[in-house]
Structure 1
């Protein structure tokens, strides 16, 4: 069966997801989704699973040193055969680094001294502009000032909604031009993951989980 035929068959079996914040449940169960994804070639399925594993916080092993986590993520991304997925995962991990930096700074922590604490091209910039509003990145990331406001006021649900919305909108823009290809399937699955996260959202539990995850990022403080 040709790739395009398999993609068309798979996508036709995936129900429309609808808007993120209007959803009360995922458009199909995780079991059914995995059944549909079995139509993918082995290499494609592995690429998708690697991406989801890197992007799912709950699957990150606790106690892993920051340098090791960054190195392993880079290795997985470099091994991905699909450039679209590589760029998308890189963008998400860079966004996660921005949010972690914002959280640490909100807790009064000084700028890190070493680059291994975060992922991607913005790590050095964050270190140099630690004390600036939005790290001086409000033009590149217009959502940062609003995220900082939610963090200051303790509006955990609003912060979660904002961050999920940023990712959802990015996937919406990336979907243009991808209709019956592997990239369209990747976008659908990552949207499914966002819906699953939002429809099972528990504000208090999510904040505790976020605090625990940030605790794992042991930023070396100046003077230590």
Structure 2
């Protein structure tokens, strides 16, 4: 079967996901989704699995140091041969680095001195512009000033909503021109993951869970810059 035919068959079997924040459940179950994804060839399935492994909270390894996590992320990304998927994953990891920096600064901590604290092209910029609003990156990331305000106000759920909305909109902009191809499948699956994550939240439980995730992510930030950095836990913003 030709690739285009397989993609058409696969995507036609995936229900429309609708808006993120209007969802009350995923458009189809995880079991059904995995059954549909069986139409992918092994290389495509591996590419998708690697991308999800880096992006899903549940698949992170808490015993890794920040430096180890960054090295591992770079290794996995270098192994993703599809440039579109590689760029998607890179963008998400850079977003997490920005959020980790916001949280660190909000806690009154100083700028990191070791670039291994975060991932991507913005680490040096963040370190150099630590005391500037939004690290001077509001043009590249228009949601950053609002994220700062919500963080200062303690709006945990609103902050989570803002960040998920930023990712959702980014996926929307990336979907242009991808309708019956592998990239369209990946975008659908990443959106499915986001819906699954959001629909598990409920009021105070959402706030508790988000704070727990952020605290876990930030637990290694201080330690990662000390001489005993190899005992620190990784940053996962």
TM tier, smaller: over 0.9
Aligned ranges for residues 121-132 of structure 1 at < 5 Å?
121-132=121-132
Q: Is there any run of 5+ residues in structure 1 with no aligned partner, and where?
A: none
Q: 1:114 maps to what in 2?
A: 114
Q: 1:87 maps to what in 2?
A: 87
1:206 to 2:210 alignment: yes
Q: 2:55 maps to what in 1?
A: 55
1:193, CA displacement in angstroms? Answer: 0.7
SS in 2 for 1:46: helix
Query: In 2, distance between residues paired with 1:216 and 1:11?
Result: 40
1:134 to 2:123 alignment: no
1:219, CA displacement in angstroms? Answer: 4.6
Asked if 2 retains the 8 angstrom alpha-carbon contact of 1:17 and 1:26, the reply is: yes
Could you give the per-residue CA deviations for residues 70-123 of structure 1, whole angstroms, max 9, x where no partner exists? 111001001112110000000000010000000011001111111111000000
SS in 2 for 1:145: helix
1:63, CA displacement in angstroms? Answer: 2.4
Q: Is there any run of 5+ residues in structure 2 with no aligned partner, and where?
A: 227-237
Query: In 2, distance between residues paired with 1:165 and 1:91?
Result: 14
Asked if 1 retains the 8 angstrom alpha-carbon contact of 2:65 and 2:224, the reply is: no
Aligned residues: CA RMSD: 1.3
The TM-score with structure 2 as length reference comes to 0.91
Asked if 2 retains the 8 angstrom alpha-carbon contact of 1:112 and 1:219, the reply is: no
The TM-score with structure 1 as length reference comes to 0.96
Between 1:211-220 and 1:60-69, the stretch displaced more is: 211-220
Q: 1:97 maps to what in 2?
A: 97
Query: In 1, distance between residues paired with 2:7 and 2:120?
Result: 31
1:168 to 2:172 alignment: no
Following TM superposition, the consecutive aligned residue runs of length 4 or more in structure 1 with deviations greater than 6 angstroms are none
Query: In 2, distance between residues paired with 1:207 and 1:114?
Result: 25
Could you give the per-residue CA deviations for residues 180-214 of structure 1, whole angstroms, max 9, x where no partner exists? 00000000000001101111122212211221122
Query: In 2, distance between residues paired with 1:184 and 1:194?
Result: 15
Could you give the per-residue CA deviations for residues 155-198 of structure 1, whole angstroms, max 9, x where no partner exists? 00000000000000011111110000000000000000110111
Between 1:64-73 and 1:179-188, the stretch displaced more is: 64-73
Query: In 2, distance between residues paired with 1:214 and 1:43?
Result: 34
Asked if 2 retains the 8 angstrom alpha-carbon contact of 1:6 and 1:39, the reply is: yes
